[in-house]
Amino acid sequence: MIEQIREKARELLESGELDVVIGYAEGSDPSRTTPIFCRKPEDTDKLVLDGRCVNTLPAYLNKRHEYPKKGWKKTGIIGKGCDIRAITQLVAENQLKRDEVYIFGAECEGVVAHPEKWDGSLHEGNCASKCSSCDVKIPLDTDFYPGEKPEVDRSGPYLVTAPALATLVKMDDEDRFAFWRDDFDRCFKCYACREVCPHCSCNICITDRTMPSWVDQAAHTKGVFGWHLTRAMHLVGRCTGCGECTRACPVNIQVDLFNQKMKEVIQESFDYKSGYSMEVKPPLITYNTDDTENYIR
């Protein structure tokens, strides 16, 4: 599988059709892979693709990064199904033009929840929870796919997978508040959860702006509550559920619980699933005159 991708990537880099191919290579230790930017055809020999490839590479396609501004006409990118969904969402949000990227896809068997848990193979004990209900193991939109791409039914709902979510929604407000207060106490605002997200598109994040300062910059619980509410609100209807924010958090805060919850709400209220269509508008930038308003007096 990866051989075919390597071969195709090499061919396209040689012919000059692609300026760069973004993929994964062996990392600093055997349990990790690292993102790699292949600029020369021979770099493609380093490409790997397996259960350790956790990073969501489309984050690099987001305009807030340097790379899209480098003048590369066409960027190749290797994606798992869920990553490709992030690309689709970027296109739907006009952050990217579809013809600026060339997508290499392959069937995905799942990835580990965290590189720490890698013990040589992928099994139920260390697989990321998002993979259990994934319907894009065969990716949706690809330019290159090794072999025949089978048809998959993806009409079902987005299943919310984090086990913690079920317990949280059953709690009453006070307990939930206490849960978050305890968790957020650890957050020291490194903003890793923002940096890894393919959909945090702002050149200057609102939390980095100080005049006026909308989000308290200090890392005390008040500031952290403000930050997480803000971040979650900005990602409503846009998060494609890669789970990178939670994985990247150095103090194990399940940041994406907010996003998963909102995904559920958006699906129920507006029947929208992010990352499945480039044409359908994300829910908060459009409206229906008969939207629900059961909370309004």
Partner 1 sequence: MSKGIIRHDFEPKIMGFVCKWCTYSGADLAGTSRMDYSPHVRMVRLPCSGRIDPQFVIKAFEQGADGVIISGCHPGDCHYNEGNYYARRRNLAFRNLMEFNGIDTKRLEFSWISAAEAIKFTQIIDKFTNQVRELGPNEGYRVLLDPYASRLVKSSEESAA
253 binds, among partner 1, ligand SF4, none (CB under 5 to 8 A by kind): ligand SF4
Q: Where are the beta strands (DSSP E) in the chain?
A: 20-26, 33-38, 47-48, 75-79, 101-105
Task: Please answer whether residues 62 and 77 qualify as being in contact, where contact means their C-beta atoms are separated by less than 8 angstroms.
Answer: no
Of the ranges 12-20, 82-90, 146-154, 230-238, which one interacts with partner 1 (CB under 8 A)? 230-238
- CB burial class (10 A; 0-12, 13-18, 19+) of residue 202? middle
Binding partner 1 (rule: CB under 8 A), the pick from 100, 175, 182, 208 is 175
Give which of 82, 16, 21, 73 is closest to 46, Cα–Cα: 21
Q: What does the alpha-carbon distance between residue 8 and residue 136 come to, in Å, rounded to a whole number?
A: 22
Of the ranges 66-74, 104-112, 116-124, 223-231, which one interacts with partner 1 (CB under 8 A)? 223-231
Q: Is the peptide bond before 58 cis (omega within 30 degrees of 0)?
A: no
Q: Please identify, using beta-carbon distances, which residue of 279 and 293 lies nearer to partner 1.
A: 293
Q: What does the alpha-carbon distance between residue 251 and residue 263 come to, in Å, rounded to a whole number?
A: 24
229 binds, among ligand SF4, partner 1, none (CB under 5 to 8 A by kind): partner 1
Smallest gap from Cβ 192 to ligand SF4, in A, equals: 4
Q: Is 164 in the site for partner 1 (CB under 8 A)?
A: no
Smallest gap from Cβ 294 to ligand SF4, in A, equals: 27
Q: Is 204 in the site for partner 1 (CB under 8 A)?
A: no
296 binds, among partner 1, ligand SF4, none (CB under 5 to 8 A by kind): partner 1
Q: Please identify, using beta-carbon distances, which residue of 34 and 254 lies nearer to partner 1.
A: 254
Q: Is 221 in the site for partner 1 (CB under 8 A)?
A: yes
63 to 122, contacts with partner 1 by CB under 8 A? Answer: none
209 to each of 2, 30, 170, 202, how far by Cα in Å?
A: 43, 40, 36, 11
Smallest gap from Cβ 258 to ligand SF4, in A, equals: 8
Task: Please answer whether residues 233 and 266 qualify as being in contact, where contact means their C-beta atoms are separated by less than 8 angstroms.
Answer: no
237 to 276, contacts with partner 1 by CB under 8 A? Answer: 237, 257-258, 261-262, 265-266, 269-270
Contacts to ligand SF4 by CB under 6 A: 187-194, 196-200, 202, 205-207, 230-231, 234-235, 239-245, 248-251, 253, 255-256, 259
For 61-77, the three-class secondary structure string (H helix, E strand, C coil) is HCCCCCHHHCCCCCEEE
The letter for the amino acid at 184 is F
Q: What does the alpha-carbon distance between residue 278 and residue 92 come to, in Å, rounded to a whole number?
A: 4
What tokens were used for 80?
A: 């798992």
Residues of the shown chain interacting with partner 1 in the complex, contacts defined by CB under 8 A: 168-169, 171, 173-181, 206, 214-216, 220-222, 225-226, 228-230, 232-233, 236-237, 257-258, 261-262, 265-266, 269-270, 283-285, 287-289, 291-293, 295-297
